[in-house]
Structure 1
């Protein structure tokens, strides 16, 4: 198998393999020679000269130049260089306008001749790369002198659109101002709002710009009949109901955007497009059509993760996305973990489950979830075998706020510091989640806060108890294009009731340590210990993490971090034994989230405890 894998993936062993790609990303090897795909290939060398001391402007010009970015790729024929150069001049002038440089001049020569003086079919010396020179005189920065808003935008304040007198008059700011005016008018329920005039006059004597923007709002019209097209097996009535675009409600571009996102998130559609009517219906409403394209309903997948403290883990699953015509999902999954961390097959962690989800249950914003999961857990602190059945409902209060409630019945057998014990528990988890992050997979700003209450009753010992947990994470960007993001997270929990801690199942006690907690320590290594040195789990905990996510390139970043945590056997968290881990990680940006590789060491390790940890995964750590 090793030889077969090497032969399949190594470009050294297979001469015809140019590169290995994963999800469109070249992992190793080189792409095929572009020159072999271009007829009459001609290579060139470009020298871009920008007469400016502004590093941001120079970088913007270099980034917009296709001559610069594509100079390793040949063009087709001598005329191909000229065409590319003329296109580049337009792009560079547009970049100068974006930077409020309306007096800039771009001069491009090919083989020493200005492109405006070349014949229709030029010929160049191809004995080497054809020399191309780009000379840019940016000119002065133009400022806003006067702004006139007309029509339904007449009373708007130019300062609200970054166009106050004296501000830089960049073309993008002017375009964005017009778009913002139209967007604001549409948000007032005017679906036919449009920009009627956009005029920009630059005065090269005073280096100023006069701007005229006028807009027409059109009639206020509520949402009308909402039709559905393109569906095959998903019921159109469900699509309309789940979109939450209801006839008679106020028209809103944001509501249309959220409706599309909501339908795509179901996973049953490969595309969703909402078409607005070109005219109002006789009753004064705006008709709409939701056009969908259904994707494959059955799916399967596999996954894996690794850390030096927890070993390898593999998962597999099969699912159906549309059981009964309303995007109900059935998912069967299984996993094995701690591979390599132990050689005892009986000490591996196993999990198998069947999960059912029904979106739009009872209410469009509600989701019903049911499942049964059987698994074993064998961390250093305990060995547990358990079966849990659950039934719950979540409800979206807003786009950011979700509440959920469920009932869980669980049987569990533990072998831990208190011996071998059986538990039968019934719990009622309640949770509130506010997610104000800008991106769930790679957030750069915003925050997320959660709070949960989990009252429970252990039936065998007639023991009531309750767990309270909360967490908050925040993100603060700095620099251009969020080159630095400070990310922090704090979490805490308290377990009350239950008599002695031994009356509560081990999986419901508090531990810390591992990839999702305090890195550098092994999974659940942070815990109170009894006189024999056995971990018992605690009644309270506090953990915190701080990361500096630094972007090195568009795809590569480094992340120094520090994690701290403590677990106490008292109801109120104690801080007499705080454990900390520190390290650094590498991030590689992909279309499906950043690939993460972290290395951490405990700053105050346990005697005989873990020396370091390496963690790999997809997505940021929090």
Structure 2
């Protein structure tokens, strides 16, 4: 079943694939989204052979609050208490695995003298026979007792081999400091990574000695690294390509024979190829040794996915009613990962008196990666739409051709040409426009994750010098935005996020001379939540929205992970749209609310509810927004 919600007054649009699956276990049911069980009992529970139920007591007396919480998070017995295991032996195996995990957690917290004991049905697991048998009168009692012991600190730290000249403190190895096992493991990995970053692909950790002295409660560490010689990249081969040109794959990866070896560049190359959407998997393999000329051969192994795809969906809005949409695409049109996508949509079904009351959109987009240069992408498209908003009605056709060039892994510039036709009915009456534009842009994106960032920032700047041909009017729009992220606490459980953006229109003496589709409005899921889409605008003497020449927006969120999969997000949005040539904040509107996040492997599912703090008379009273990924 496919459902969607789209916001134009009180709802926002997104297609979600939902599966409501009855499970034959009494009257239990499971509810799934994208194949992930949200609540209820999964079908897999009923596939367990010889199911055995158990109850667990985890005794962490002597552990501080943080350590006790870490032990509780580690215990699979505790987390899986509601699910049966397979047979009595299965329970013993799970208990032994749990003991190993708990001991590892003690080591991670510098507790090298800790003891973990486990009993099942009153018997120590080390004293059980090879084929155990327990009474099945009820859930079998499992008791886990943890004596954490004292916290150890680092003693002598010695770096040897090619790491001898490095400063251990750079890697958090400080005598007298924490001696957690993860600190030591990460230090070794980071030393190897740093030496590889110097262009030494054969760097390996040759020796790691960790000795705990229980009398002094210290841990001595010896790490020895063999870095090998500096080596450039050698021959780059491609395997697994069927319909995609192997030479294109090698060129688009931007891994060239003779360039300096860099693990980061190899990682970026794989990400770049995956982002094409043409391949189901991409792996870059390094040779075990150097070639005769001292270079490092590389092998790019790809598996092609399905090149053609299509989809259909439905949406519902309390204002627009029912909508249907469909699309078709090709991810490898001419053999070099060129993509073509055709899409169409009809909105306003179910509450209309004729076809003239419907909203339509149809478009075609062509993208050519690696156009002219490996770092360049050509995009061309044309789209026609009819749109009914709180502020204006428009029938538009826009054609655009643009070239994007990646200066670095984080910086990108774009330039293009556009031509748009608009037939608009707004506060100034019915007018037609034919506008030629030169869209220019720059972006710098250092976010660690595009859908769920925890650190970094994303900055964009854009300018569109334009000429409205019918009215012979020159004008230009300038916009910029900056979003940043800062994580707090263990495992990024709290992330503070903020976004600031502003824009202004320059030129054109009368606002009427600029198409409403190019004037500034605010409100809706992309700006000030709680207000209707494009509801925030300067008003004329008759109280009709005109759009503005300038705007300023700010959004602030605290993203709190309550569990590993559930998060809550209180937020505040602030916006101002003015008729002046610069943001003068003469009319400030704010929306506040709270969101729910369900974390999935492909990004968080988002549901936000917001209310305007200063609503317009007769305007929106609340907003509900759904989507995939964070709001910004």
2:196 corresponds to which of 155, 169, 186: 186
2:33 is aligned with 1:22: yes
Q: Which residue matches 1:569?
A: 579
| Structure 2 alignment gaps of length 5 or more | 3-18
Q: Distance between the aligned counterparts of 2:374 and 2:42, measured in 1? A: 48
1:544: Cα distance to partner? Answer: 1.3
Q: Is the 8 A contact 1:308 1:613 kept in 2?
A: no
Q: Distance between the aligned counterparts of 2:320 and 2:218, measured in 1? A: 64
1:177 corresponds to which of 181, 187, 209: 187
2:167 corresponds to which of 154, 157, 181: 157
Local SS of the residue matching 1:109? strand
CA RMSD of the aligned region, Å?
2.3
Q: Return 589-598 or 335-344, whichever deviates more.
A: 335-344
Higher relative contact order (CA 8 A, sep 6+): 2
Q: Which residue matches 1:616?
A: 626
**TM-score, L = length of structure 2:** 0.93
2:387 corresponds to which of 373, 377, 381: 377
Q: Kindly tell me: are residues 618 and 119 of structure 1, through their superposed partners in 2, closer, same or farther at Cα, counting changes over 3 Å?
A: closer
Q: Kindly tell me: are residues 176 and 343 of structure 1, through their superposed partners in 2, closer, same or farther at Cα, counting changes over 3 Å?
A: farther
Q: Return 573-582 or 217-226, whichever deviates more.
A: 573-582
Alignment of 1:280-359 (within 5 A): 280-303=290-313, 314-337=324-347, 345-359=355-369
1:436 corresponds to which of 446, 470, 477: 446
Q: Kindly tell me: are residues 76 and 558 of structure 1, through their superposed partners in 2, closer, same or farther at Cα, counting changes over 3 Å?
A: closer
Q: Residue deviations 1:392-446, cap 9 Å, x none? A: 1001111111110110011111111111111111000001111121211112222
Q: Is the 8 A contact 1:11 1:29 kept in 2?
A: no
2:622 is aligned with 1:607: no
Q: Distance between the aligned counterparts of 1:164 and 1:433, measured in 2? A: 40
Q: Residue deviations 1:459-500, cap 9 Å, x none? A: 112111111111111122222222222221111111111221
Q: Distance between the aligned counterparts of 2:607 and 2:354, measured in 1? A: 27
2:469 is aligned with 1:459: yes
Q: Return 61-70 or 212-221, whichever deviates more.
A: 61-70
| Structure 1 alignment gaps of length 5 or more | 3-7
Q: Which runs of 4+ in 1 moved over 6 A?
A: 12-17, 340-344
**TM-score, L = length of structure 1:** 0.94
Q: Is the 8 A contact 1:310 1:522 kept in 2?
A: no
Q: Distance between the aligned counterparts of 1:474 and 1:388, measured in 2? A: 32
Q: Return 333-342 or 67-76, whichever deviates more.
A: 333-342
Q: Kindly tell me: are residues 553 and 426 of structure 1, through their superposed partners in 2, closer, same or farther at Cα, counting changes over 3 Å?
A: same
Q: Distance between the aligned counterparts of 1:342 and 1:569, measured in 2? A: 34
1:49: Cα distance to partner? Answer: 0.9
Q: Return 36-45 or 90-99, whichever deviates more.
A: 36-45
1:45: Cα distance to partner? Answer: 2.1
Q: Distance between the aligned counterparts of 1:339 and 1:196, measured in 2? A: 68
Q: Which residue matches 1:265?
A: 275
Q: Return 545-554 or 292-301, whichever deviates more.
A: 545-554
Alignment of 1:38-437 (within 5 A): 38-303=48-313, 314-337=324-347, 345-437=355-447
Q: Kindly tell me: are residues 100 and 329 of structure 1, through their superposed partners in 2, closer, same or farther at Cα, counting changes over 3 Å?
A: same
Q: Residue deviations 1:62-104, cap 9 Å, x none? A: 2222322333333333333333222222222121111111111
Local SS of the residue matching 1:506? coil
